């Protein structure tokens, strides 16, 4: 077959009306959907940049509308939840953030099972751990309450140091719960996972978020945070903690962030940072990026002092400088008070 024959084969056949010299009117078309209302496009690979930008702009608009200036982020285990029924037991969850209980053989042993000798070694171990996790739940709840009580006294037109969590159960629920019980706003940043999961009920409804992209959720954890509290947890907690510590270590976060690691008894079994220092993997100064706390009161003092020193005092100084400039343009507080008195913070 030569080239002309190939072109003839590829050419669309003419309609009978065209062959007869008749002009046929095509059917009327429906209006095409607007690009931003086209689910086929928005959910496609080509629409991914729009979905990513949406997970930045939509939360940003809500934070502005709700008057959120900055946050204190709580991380910790989602695999245990408090059960406030008669036996006050804790039930291990099947997956992080899941509402489905784990299999019975993975549940903490109850006293009758231990007494009867029917509990497995894993169940006995987790029964002890469940008691410890119950303490951490209550400690997170109390700390969030204390922090919110204090933050509500900070003079500001917007909400300061708002308790924020990953929005799930366990320690996350405890943090949101404590802030809720103190009468403050509280943020939950959930992530859509393959298994069933729901936000905890203590999140302020207008500040309840669900993300598809992990990296956008991480961005929002870091973007507004002025402090971080890390309670005992697993892979997710470790991931979030070390990621923010790395950002602080490499100074990719320009702001000063107070990091409190709660429960040294737990964490020093999980990792040994002294080995990293001894082998030169990290600098001795990197240990100063965080502090340990064993009680809600101790953690609260570290948070309050860090937030005050890093933000409230500088903000008050800047406000005083601004007011002074309005009264005496061109002069400075140092000119008026003298350098030594000007540098005094009390």
Question: Is 174 within a domain?
Answer: yes
Instruction: Map tokens 């053989």 to a residue.
Output: 105
Question: Is 51 within a domain?
Answer: no
Whether the predicted model's global pTM rises above the 0.85 cut: no
Q: Is the CB of residue 142 less than 8 Å from the CB of residue 300?
A: no
Q: Is the CB of residue 226 less than 8 Å from the CB of residue 242?
A: no
Question: Is 324 within a domain?
Answer: no
CA proximity to 283, closest of 319, 246, 326: 246
Residue 346: predicted pLDDT: 42
- Residue 186 is part of which domain span? 68-301
For the chain, the domain total comes to 1
Residue 336: predicted pLDDT: 46
Question: Is 242 within a domain?
Answer: yes
Question: Is 54 within a domain?
Answer: no
Question: Is 251 within a domain?
Answer: yes
Burial of 188 (0-12, 13-18, 19+ CB in 10 A): buried
Q: Is the CB of residue 55 less than 8 Å from the CB of residue 49?
A: no
Q: How many residues does the chain have?
A: 346
Alpha-carbon gap, residue 231 to 266, rounded angstroms = 9
Q: Low-confidence residues of the chain, pLDDT below 50?
A: 83, 85-90, 333, 336-346
Residue 114: predicted pLDDT: 54
Say which CATH number the domain at 173 has.
3.40.50.450
Question: Is 1 within a domain?
Answer: no
């Amino acid at each position: 077959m030569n080239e002309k024959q190939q072109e003839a084969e590829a050419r669309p056949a003419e309609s009978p009306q065209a062959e007869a010299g008749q002009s046929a009117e095509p059917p009327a078309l429906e209006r095409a959907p607007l690009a931003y209302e086209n689910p086929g496009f928005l959910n496609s690979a080509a629409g991914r940049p729009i979905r990513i930008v949406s997970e930045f702009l939509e939360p940003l608009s809500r934070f502005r509308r709700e008057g959120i200036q900055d946050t204190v982020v709580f991380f910790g285990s989602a695999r245990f939840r408090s059960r406030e029924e008669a036996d006050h037991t804790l039930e291990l969850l099947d997956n992080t953030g899941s509402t489905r209980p784990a299999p019975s053989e993975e549940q903490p042993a109850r006293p009758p099972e231990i007494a009867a000798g029917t509990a497995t070694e894993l169940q006995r171990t987790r029964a002890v751990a469940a008691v410890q996790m119950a303490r951490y739940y209550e400690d997170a709840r109390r700390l969030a309450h204390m922090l919110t009580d204090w933050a509500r006294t900070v003079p500001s037109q917007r909400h300061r140091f708002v308790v924020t969590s990953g929005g799930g159960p366990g320690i996350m629920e405890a943090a949101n719960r404590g802030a809720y019980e103190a009468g403050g706003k509280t943020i939950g940043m959930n992530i859509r996972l393959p298994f069933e999961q729901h936000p905890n009920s203590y999140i302020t409804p207008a500040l309840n978020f669900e993300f598809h992209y992990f990296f956008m959720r991480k961005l929002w954890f870091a973007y507004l945070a002025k402090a971080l509290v890390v309670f005992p947890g697993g892979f997710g907690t470790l991931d979030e903690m070390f990621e923010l510590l790395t950002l602080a270590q490499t100074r990719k976060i320009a702001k000063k962030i107070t990091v409190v690691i709660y429960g040294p008894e737990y964490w020093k079994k999980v990792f040994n940072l002294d080995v990293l220092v001894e082998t030169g993997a990290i600098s001795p100064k990197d240990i100063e990026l965080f502090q340990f706390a064993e009680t809600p009161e101790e953690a609260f003092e570290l948070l309050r002092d860090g937030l005050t020193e890093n933000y409230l005092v500088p903000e008050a100084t800047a406000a005083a400088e601004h007011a002074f400039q309005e009264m005496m343009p061109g002069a400075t507080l140092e000119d008026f008070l003298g350098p030594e008195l000007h540098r005094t913070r009390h």
